[in-house]
Chains A and B, each alone.
Chain A
């Protein structure tokens, strides 16, 4: 899965318009980013990539690129 495909799926889960998210955004600039969105991110990583993402790593992330980096090489560019 590419980073872009992952973001499109996350948008679907967050029920926000396609194209809203990109990896250069600061999370604080995303109005819909909240504790539930963090759970949706964890669920998607679990379901699509078989990965566990620590809650504290999400909490320490400032940008969308920080979040995607938590998924390592499971996502292609």
Chain B
């Protein structure tokens, strides 16, 4: 029994934040410079009463409706999020009920950021190929906008809210996902973190707004990212992960049809692409209209690549993701024609 990606759909909040709005608020960068450096023109921002799970629900509903896949056939729901509805219960349980999946369906959340989609593919493959499930719904959903201080220019410029739903099913024939390379370095906690709000440290009431040298304001209750150290982390880990995956798969770099990396920002991706000597034509950039959507960035980029005609049936696609944790992962998928959908 082998696993394959049968369909992908996405859902975005209605409201947007564009570069003109950011330039008007912060003044230091023009709208054009923001686009040139980050690759982002617009991001979607969840409404105050809109949770990440609402977006995941919409993406999943759309997937089930458009593929006409019978929801009662879903054996497992895997939900990747860091913006859960509640501390408890698990958001995947709420989604099971809301989507009308059968009660004999397994469901769990896993808390990963930008690396989450590939971990979700790995978990799905393990569940299917060990005979525990035949069909899996994998959802990714984040509303980082709710974690970022409005005065944090850098983070607001990069991140957008989004969700995706991926249907994975069993296939009797060939291997269409894998092998997998995983990596973890928890020493990275200091570089991407929300310092308070978990059980380690309670939120600080009326916390002081601290403005850094680059003019980004945030409190200890907000999302923090040390861009320079995160960049170094990617330079340290991504090339090695790519090489290891090629070796494990017994594939030459030239044989890869398309490279889909986590859509962190255009500057970082372009540097990684040149460092890895990957031709621009084989390297997907898909953050222009959505920004960095965390665990949704790879499935959104895959859809975008399909719409641009970059994915032929059976195309060998390398997926590489890296981010908060630190956590990273890489794998291959073989693109299937019925996944080429809007």
| A46–B232 alpha-carbon span in the complex (Å) | 9
Tell me whether A52 and B232 are in contact in the complex, defined as CB-CB below 8 angstroms, given that A34-B28, A35-B154, A35-B214 are known contacts. Answer: yes
Interface residues on A, range: 10 to 19
Tell me whether A36 and B37 are in contact in the complex, defined as CB-CB below 8 angstroms, given that A46-B271, A47-B271, A47-B275 are known contacts. Answer: yes
Tell me whether A39 and B228 are in contact in the complex, defined as CB-CB below 8 angstroms, given that A34-B214, A46-B271, A47-B275 are known contacts. Answer: yes
Mark interface residues in B224-235 (1 if CB within 8 Å of A CB, else 0). Answer: 001111011001
B216 within 8 A of A: yes
| A34–B27 alpha-carbon span in the complex (Å) | 14
Report B117-161 residues with CB < 8 Å from chain A CB.
154
B173 within 8 A of A: no
Contacts of B271 in A (CB 8 A): 43, 46-47
Extra 8 A-B pairs, beta carbons < 8 Å, given A35-B213, A36-B37, A38-B228: A34-B28, A34-B214, A35-B154, A35-B228, A47-B274, A52-B232, A55-B232, A56-B229
A77 within 8 A of B: no
Query: Can you show 15 pairs from A to B with CB atoms below 8 A apart?
Result: A34-B213, A35-B216, A36-B267, A38-B228, A39-B267, A42-B231, A42-B235, A43-B231, A43-B267, A52-B235, A52-B236, A54-B229, A55-B227, A55-B229, A55-B232
Contacts of B212 in A (CB 8 A): 35
Task: Decide: A39 and B231 in contact? CB cutoff 8 A.
Answer: yes
Mark B residues whose CB is within 8 Å of A.
28, 37, 154, 212-216, 226-229, 231-232, 235-236, 267-268, 271, 274-275
Contacts of B231 in A (CB 8 A): 39, 42-43, 55
Chain B nearest CB: distance from A9 CB in Å?
A: 14
| A56–B230 alpha-carbon span in the complex (Å) | 11
Task: Decide: A39 and B227 in contact? CB cutoff 8 A.
Answer: yes
| A1–B301 alpha-carbon span in the complex (Å) | 38
Contacts of B154 in A (CB 8 A): 35
Contacts of A36 in B (CB 8 A): 37, 267
Task: Decide: B235 and A59 in contact? CB cutoff 8 A.
Answer: no
| A42–B236 alpha-carbon span in the complex (Å) | 12
Contacts of B267 in A (CB 8 A): 36, 39, 43
Chain A nearest CB: distance from B151 CB in Å?
A: 14
Contacts of B236 in A (CB 8 A): 52
Smallest Cβ-Cβ distance to A28: which chain B residue: B213
Task: Decide: A55 and B235 in contact? CB cutoff 8 A.
Answer: no
Contacts of B229 in A (CB 8 A): 54-56
A7 within 8 A of B: no
A10 within 8 A of B: no
| A47–B214 alpha-carbon span in the complex (Å) | 24
Smallest Cβ-Cβ distance to A35: which chain B residue: B214
| A13–B37 alpha-carbon span in the complex (Å) | 11
| A46–B238 alpha-carbon span in the complex (Å) | 14
A58 within 8 A of B: yes
| A52–B227 alpha-carbon span in the complex (Å) | 14
Smallest Cβ-Cβ distance to A55: which chain B residue: B228
Task: Decide: B232 and A35 in contact? CB cutoff 8 A.
Answer: no
Contacts of A34 in B (CB 8 A): 28, 213-215
Task: Decide: B232 and A42 in contact? CB cutoff 8 A.
Answer: yes
| A35–B275 alpha-carbon span in the complex (Å) | 21
Instruction: Enumerate the 9 nearest inter-chain pairs by beta-carbon distance, A residue then B residue, closest first.
Output: A55-B228, A35-B214, A55-B229, A34-B214, A43-B271, A38-B228, A39-B231, A35-B227, A46-B235
| A55–B215 alpha-carbon span in the complex (Å) | 17
| A9–B275 alpha-carbon span in the complex (Å) | 17
| A34–B213 alpha-carbon span in the complex (Å) | 7
| A54–B28 alpha-carbon span in the complex (Å) | 25
